[in-house]
Chains A and B, each alone.
Chain A
Amino acid sequence: MASTLRVSAHLALRGLQRGNRFTTVLTVLIIALVFIMLCFQPSLNAGIISAVNNQIIDYSFGNIVVEPKEHQVYIDHAAGLKKKIDRIPGVVASTPEYKLGATYTFKDTQYSGPLYAIDPSDARPVLRTHTKMLSGEFLSDGDRGQIVLGAILAGNKDQKLDKVKALRGAQVGDTVDVAYSNGVVRSYRVKGIYATDSLSADMSAVITREEAESVTGLSDKASLILIRLSPSVDENAFKTTLMQYGVQEPVKTWSEEAGAFMTDTAKTFEALNAIMTIFYLLFASIVVFIVVYINTTNKRKQIAIMKAIGIKREIIINDYLIQVLVLCGIGIILGLMLFLLQTQAMTANPVRFPSMGVVTPVVSLSLITSGILDLLVVSFIAGYIPAWTTTREEILDGMRG
Chain B
Amino acid sequence: MILCEDLSKIYTLGAVQVHALRDVSLTIEKGEFIGIMGSSGSGKSTLLHMLGLLDHPSRGSITLAGTDVGTLTEDERTLFRLNNLGYVFQDYALISELSVLENVCLPCLVRGTPRGECIPASTEILSSVGLGDRINHLYHELSGGQQQRVSIARALVNKPRILFADEPCANLDSETSRNILELFRQLNQELKQTIVMVSHEPWHTEYFDRVITLRDGEVVAS
Contact = CB atoms under 8 A, between A and B. Distances in A.
A347 B216 CA distance: 79
A179 B55 CA distance: 96
B144 to A, nearest CB: 17
Interface in B139-164: 154-155, 158
A311 B106 contact: yes
Given A6-B109, A395-B54, A310 B95 contact: no
Contact of A311 (B93, B110, B155): B110
Nearest to A312: B78
B97 A19 contact: yes
A308 interface: yes
Contacts of A399: 89, 93
A311 B97 contact: no
Question: Which of B54, B78, B96 has the most chain A CB atoms closer than 10 A to its own CB?
Answer: B78
A307 interface: yes
Given A17-B97, A302-B95, A305-B93, A312 B110 contact: yes
Nearest to B109: A7
A310 B107 contact: yes
Contacts of B95: 11, 302, 305-306
B185 interface: no
A399 to B, nearest CB: 8
A396 B86 CA distance: 16
Interface string A295-325: 0000001100111111111010000000000
B112 A311 contact: no
Taking residues whose C-beta sits less than 8 angstroms from the other chain, chain A's interface range is: 20 to 34
Nearest to B79: A310
A69 interface: no
A309 B109 contact: no
Contacts of B86: 309
B87 A309 contact: yes
Contact of A396 (B55, B81, B138): B55
Nearest to B93: A305
A3 B117 CA distance: 14
Contacts of A395: 54-55
A6 B116 CA distance: 14
A311 B82 contact: yes
A307 B78 contact: yes
A159 B112 CA distance: 82
A311 B87 CA distance: 13
B102 interface: yes
Contacts of A305: 89, 93, 95
A396 B155 CA distance: 18
A399 B87 CA distance: 13
Contacts of B83: 310
Interface string A264-292: 00000000000000000000000000000
A301 B95 CA distance: 10
B19 interface: no
A14 interface: yes
Nearest to A395: B54
B98 interface: yes
A109 B98 CA distance: 83
Interface string A1-12: 001101100110
A17 B138 CA distance: 13
Contacts of B173: none
A7 B95 CA distance: 14
Given A310-B82, A396-B55, A14 B109 contact: no
Interface in B79-135: 79-83, 85-87, 89, 93, 95-98, 102, 106-107, 109-112
Nearest to A12: B97
Contacts of B85: 310
Nearest to B154: A309
B93 A7 contact: no
A309 B112 contact: no
Contact of B87 (A3, A18, A308, A315): A308
Interface string B40-75: 000000000100101100000000000000000001
Given A7-B110, A14-B102, A395-B55, A310 B78 contact: yes
Ranked 8 nearest A-B pairs via Cβ: A310-B82, A18-B97, A310-B81, A305-B93, A14-B97, A3-B112, A395-B54, A7-B109
6 contacts: A4-B110, A305-B95, A308-B54, A310-B111, A311-B82, A396-B55
Interface of A: 3-4, 6-7, 10-11, 14-15, 17-19, 301-302, 305-313, 315, 394-396, 399
Given A11-B95, A308-B54, A308-B89, 12 more contacts: A11-B97, A17-B97, A18-B138, A305-B95, A309-B106, A310-B79, A310-B80, A310-B81, A310-B85, A311-B78, A394-B55, A395-B55
